[in-house]
Structure 1
Amino acid sequence: MRALLTAGLLTLPITTWAVNTEPAGFYAGVGVSQIDYSGKLPLSLDEKPDWTALELSGGYKHSPFVGVESRLGFAGSPELLYGGVYYRTESANDTAKTYLLLGFAGASIEGKAGDDVSLSGLSYGAGVGFPVGRNFNLNLEYRMLVDDSDADVNMGAFALSMDYRFSGFRAGASGAQASFTPATDAGFYAGLGVAQIELSEDESYEEDEFDDELDEELDDEDAEDGAPDLKWNAVELIGGYRYNSLATVEARFGVSDKDELLSFTYASLYYRPGVELSNVQLYGLLGYTSVHTKFEDEPDEETGEVDKESDTISSFSYGAGVNLLIGEQFGVGLEYRLLASDEGDGYSSDLNALAANVHYRF
């Protein structure tokens, strides 16, 4: 999937090289990256790492074909620190921008007994961004973070970020204001939703982010085809800002009920493009979700003690929905989305959400 996404992104700049609506200038950004480790595993690492990293970026754009950018990121378990310098080509019009990255990066991974792993090599990728207001851009990209052929290791990064252009957003050729104008109903909105969330495991179910107590509960159900599915009901708080149908950002916070041993809370940040047909809006959701799980076993019969554990799962999240406008300010929506996913050696699991919501536009 990521290879297909990369191939698709690589073709996008060809269609927009002739158009440029952003002036030269500096920019800075922040984002989150899901990083996968592939290749030979050093002796100083017990298992193949999988990180969710915080990443800072900064650069200067001189023209569509001339730009430089630097990145710095860090993550934990095991600790990871990486940085890179890139040559960046970028083309933008009134709706979106596409860009390519080519450079060099290095990474340091904390190993056992202070035996750290150092990697370095080529780094390259592609991305697409969407203007959010006058100076901000929401970006989605995939890149080969480090390709170290000597160590037979490569690390790929799937990233969601926001950057700020200090020079503003205007037409590059004439200097006039870009036609990326706000909608007549642009502004903030808030809502409340309910969701049914289902955990699905593949047939090669093994121990994963859920603790041993939950594993025993699932095993007792004696499912024939992999692990059984679990379901929860959740309540969601929704808030966002709509600039126009192609530039909307939205945040979610949800709380589930408790299914014997397990309950969870989650927070999501989405880019939400839409297509409006009279009073009906079709929309997509593309973003990132962090799920905080809580495990609570039944009290011990002898001591009365309760075994409690928690864990956090973070991944990219996406979905689609339909929204019906009621009057000028209210709307009712129905959607389906992949809330979060987790993969490892011998298992994969998905949290899928079917949700309904109401919202109010201020």
Structure 2
Amino acid sequence: MADDYKGASKKRLWTLMEKCMKKTVLFLVLALSSFSLHAAGYKAFFGGGYSMASIEVDGEVLGAEASTVEFNMSALDMAGGMMLNEFLAIEGRLGLGVANDEKTVAISVLEPKVKTKLTRYYGLYLRPQYSQERFQVYGLLGLAGANIEMAIEDTNAYDSGEDSGLSYGLGVGFSPEGSLFFNIEYMNMIDSDDYTFSGVNLRVEFKL
């Protein structure tokens, strides 16, 4: 009983901390966005990417206790942003899943096949960066959300849920001529109570 109480208390504390962090990041994004209206001479950028992602589900699948399992999938996204100053930008992303995964999962005494699908994801980020004409390195910190669908093969068991949380990553890019960049990133898209969504992204970025 004491362990259950401690576990519930830790979960409530983490939920409260996560809400506070979300509000802090959102405040910073809005404040810097307002500041950007007065900035001049800094560039906008847009592009897209291909993500080799994994979704790790730990402890529960479709409401039942289950073994930890990792589903591998891929996604495409588009992105756009604006430089707030020489070293900081704001960036938004919107993506769609393009490949699903199916794994055998130990659920109670059964081992059914579970199909997992990433339908969409999105994020809004602050992007601190250091760049030269042909090189850039940057970080990403913000809020992201994703919709995940799960179904057990040959049954009516199905679930679809939207989760959101803090999102962060690190990227590096190279340019052959100064305005077109080829980037590679590692992103921790979402780390929620239900799953961890992370992956490596290959991106193309155009600076205006």
The Cα of 1:298 is off from its aligned counterpart by: 4.0
Task: Report Cα offsets for 1:63-101 as digits up to 9, x if no partner.
Answer: xxxxxxxxxxxxxxxxxxxxxxxxxxxxxxxxxxxxxxx
Please say if 1:356 is aligned against 2:202. yes
Amino acid at match of 1:188: A
Distance 1:281 1:48 in 2: 40
Against the structure 1 CA distance between its residues 258 and 49, is the aligned structure 2 distance closer, same or farther, given a 3 Å change threshold? farther
Distance 2:168 2:82 in 1: 18
Distance 2:81 2:179 in 1: 14
Match of 2:182 in 1: 332
Distance 1:164 1:314 in 2: 21
Match of 1:231 in 2: 72
Match of 1:312 in 2: 162
- Structure 2: gaps (5+ residues): 1-6, 103-114
Give the SS at the match of 2:59: coil
The Cα of 1:190 is off from its aligned counterpart by: 1.5
Give the SS at the match of 1:161: helix
The Cα of 1:350 is off from its aligned counterpart by: 2.0
Distance 1:311 1:241 in 2: 31
Give the SS at the match of 2:51: strand
**Match for residue 191 of structure 2 among 322, 336, 341:** 341
Match of 2:135 in 1: 280
Q: Are the aligned partners of 2:172 and 2:184 in contact in 1 as well (CA < 8 Å)?
A: yes
Match of 1:262 in 2: 116
Distance 2:189 2:96 in 1: 13
Question: For residues 187-266 of structure 1, what are the structure 2 equivalents within 5 Å?
Answer: 187-200=43-56, 205-207=58-60, 210-212=61-63, 227-256=68-97, 257-260=99-102, 261-264=115-118, 265-266=120-121
The TM-score, its normalising length taken from structure 2, stands at: 0.72
The Cα of 1:297 is off from its aligned counterpart by: 4.2
Considering fraction of residues, name the structure with more helix. Answer: 2
Distance 1:298 1:39 in 2: 36
Amino acid at match of 2:163: I
Distance 2:206 2:162 in 1: 31
Amino acid at match of 1:262: T
Distance 2:70 2:140 in 1: 24
Larger-Rg structure = 1
Please say if 1:161 is aligned against 2:26. yes
Amino acid at match of 1:326: P
Amino acid at match of 2:70: D
Distance 2:131 2:81 in 1: 17
Give the SS at the match of 1:326: coil
Distance 2:96 2:145 in 1: 12
What is the number of equivalent residue pairs in this alignment? 181
Against the structure 1 CA distance between its residues 193 and 164, is the aligned structure 2 distance closer, same or farther, given a 3 Å change threshold? closer
